[in-house]
Structure 1
Amino acid sequence: MADFDGAVGAEHRPDAAGSAAVRPPWQELESLRPLTLRSCRRIVVVAPHPRDEIRAAGGLLRRLGSRHAEVDVLSLTERPTRSCPVPSYDGDDPAGRGFTLADLMAGALDDLPEPDDAAGDAGDDAPSDDPDEAAAEAAYRALGLSVVRRHRLGLPDGGVAQAEADVVAAISEIVGFADDPEGLCVLAPWSGDGDDDHEAAGRAAEVVTAAYRVRLVRWLDRAWTWAGPDSSEVPWRRARQVLLTDTVIARKHAASAAFAAALGRTTPEGHDDDLPEGWAPGPREVFLV
């Protein structure tokens, strides 16, 4: 694909104070190569916050679901209004990042808490009146996904980086026992996205997929608020797109509305507030491969 660096004129670049007066044009995204994932028969989604995966990748998930690919969603955090304790760590690494690829392969994370208790399949263990589960189920139905296996880690909003080793363990529990690793893909935020929770989730996904040699696809989310096609911080050469039909766009709107309605809200809130239409500019979803 074309290199976007320098494609945007100086009038769209940040001023001396570092703020952009005009949002950069997005026509350059039209030249991105398509993302196909034809060999993907199961996709494991790492979602830092409720509804992140629908906003950033709902069209891709619907496409894979229509091909009968299995969908697992690991939801890392609860809603900000829910009370969740922040995990504590002993030793000199309070951020919980003291692990490497070699540690994972050597089983150094085996003494971490088992994620099944907190991140179990929602269809088996969660109470039917759980508002978060009801909201997720309503959103997936509106999106057109009939079967989604949900796993929940139960971290507090903003606390993913502090529990990054637990996130690695939770992803490993799902990925490491796959019956068909060649048909497995992991979908997670880009580790340079600009949000602490998103970046920590992305780093954890990178460690696990490198260890198990599973394909990783990264989505952009917060990056749309600060990066344009001329941003040298985004590896645009690795970018691919999924074009969305009007029907799929309408389903994404419906899914977002269904999620909010199931929680007793009338408008989207939280992580959607400053994003255009709640996802990437234009009728497309953009991913890094």
Structure 2
Amino acid sequence: MKFEDFGRSGAPLHAWKSSSRLASLPAVSCDELVPPHARAVVLAPHPDDEILGSGGILQLLARRKRSLMLISVTNGSASHPDSTHWTSERLGIIRPQESAEALRRLGLYMNGLQWIHGGFPDNRVGDQLVDLKRFLRTYLRPTDVIFTPWRDDGHADHEAVADAALAVGREIGAAVYEVPIWAWNWASPEDPRIPWARAHKIHLDRWTQARKRHAIQAFASQLTPDPVNGRAPPLNPATLERLQQAFEVVFL
């Protein structure tokens, strides 16, 4: 599936909200996912993935004063290919700044978030999979609980990060949980490609949902049309509504 197809072929929001399959997913709490002694590590292939997939989880863990680490694998500089306005140089500066603002809106810096920048090439993470595994081994511990995008999420960088996380997690004995992000935009509630047997829901209260929505609005480069060519933004309204429900999902 091509990246530009995301958000255009998935089931509409009302289909997800009326889905008996989704409603019947077992709930899991952050206390169950991340014990008090553990550190939660969120892997973000691009700036904004940490908020889109785990913005609620991050807030809930911060309230419980869990140790938190965010690893931004790339700087997101390839989100607008061929744009004369959103050049890779501009995006490489702006997108990490947008993540910083989004994290501030979640209130995370006051909770001691450790933030690591990987510097891997956007849209080509898979070309450096060996280096990525080596990089992750530098930072990950056996007692960590690692949140990575789902291995079959539909974006090559998401899949590469998941492959590396799962491999290193097995090596060191750390727990690795997968989070669907782009899958919400090409799948349907009955899609057999989704590993529903492993899926669990983390419920988000209204305050947590509101802060996540506010944080997502920090990603202006991803939310507004290109001012030169008028091309639609990567995150369109249909995409956003599927990513801002009253829960987040993890595959255990």
1:230 aligns with 2:190: yes
Normalised TM-score (structure 1): 0.68
Distance 1:271 1:185, change over 3 A: farther
Report the counterpart of residue 75 of structure 1 in structure 2: 72
Equivalent position of 1:165 in the other structure? 130
2:135 is aligned with what amino acid? A
2:205 pairs, out of 212, 220, 245, with 245
Residues 46/20 of structure 1: CA separation in 2 closer, same or farther (3 Å cut): closer
1:198 matched to 2:158? The reply is yes
SS of 1:233 mapped into structure 2: coil
Q: 1:156 to 1:278 in 2, by over 3 A?
A: farther
Structure 2 residue 235 is the aligned partner of structure 1 residue 272: yes
1:140 aligns with 2:85: no
Unaligned ranges ≥5, structure 1: 1-18, 85-129
The aligned residue for residue 13 of structure 1 is none
- Measured in 1, the distance between the counterparts of 2:113 and 2:135 equals 17
How many residues of Structure 1 are paired with residues of Structure 2 in the alignment? 218
Deviations 1:121-172 (A, max 9, x none): xxxxxxxxx6555433221110121222111111222011111112111111
Kept after mapping to 1: 8 A contact 2:43/2:73: yes
TM superposition shift of 1:174: 0.8
Larger Rg: 1
Q: TM-score, normalised by structure 2?
A: 0.77
Pairing partner for 2:174 from 214, 232, 250: 214
- C-alpha contact 1:229 1:236 (8 A) present in aligned 2: no
* Percent identity of equivalent pairs: 30
Deviation at 1:280, TM superposition (A): 3.2
CA RMSD after TM alignment: 2.7
| Contact 1:49/1:157 (<8 A) preserved | yes
Give, in angstroms, the shift of residue 22 of structure 1.
6.0
Residue 216 of structure 2 corresponds to which residue in structure 1?
Answer: 256
**2:53·2:248 contact (CA, 8 Å) conserved in 1?**
yes
Map of 1:25 onto structure 2: 15
Long gaps (5+) in structure 2: 1-7, 79-86, 226-231
Cα distance change of structure 1 residues 270 and 163 upon mapping to structure 2, 3 Å threshold: farther
2:150 & 2:136 partners in 1: Cα distance?
Answer: 16
- Cα drift, residue 230 of structure 1: 1.1
In 1, Cα distance between the equivalents of 2:213 and 2:224? Answer: 11
> Does residue 174 in structure 1 map to residue 139 in structure 2?
yes
> Does structure 2 conserve the Cα–Cα contact (< 8 Å) formed by 1:239 and 1:286?
yes
Give the corresponding residue for 2:29. 36
Match of 1:9 in 2: none
Partner residue of 1:155?
120
The aligned counterpart of 2:249 is: 286
Structure 2 residue corresponding to 1:62, chosen from 59, 63, 72: 59
**Which region of structure 1 is more displaced relative to structure 2, 278-287 or 62-71?**
278-287
Cα distance between partner residues in 1 of 2:137 and 2:96: 23
Does the CA-based 8 Å contact 1:225-1:274 persist in structure 2?
no
Counterpart secondary structure, 1:25: helix
Offset from partner CA, 1:91-148 (integer Å, 9 cap, x none): xxxxxxxxxxxxxxxxxxxxxxxxxxxxxxxxxxxxxxx6555433221110121222
Amino acid at match of 1:210: R
In terms of fraction of residues, the more helix-rich structure is 2
Kept after mapping to 1: 8 A contact 2:53/2:179: yes
Matched residue SS, 1:201:
helix
- TM-fit CA distance, 1:60: 0.5
2:243 alignment partner, SS class: coil
State the alpha-carbon separation in 2 of the partners of residues 283 and 58 from structure 1. 12
After TM superposition, give the deviation of residue 270 of structure 1 in Å: 5.4
Matched residues in 1 for 2:61 and 2:214: separation? 19
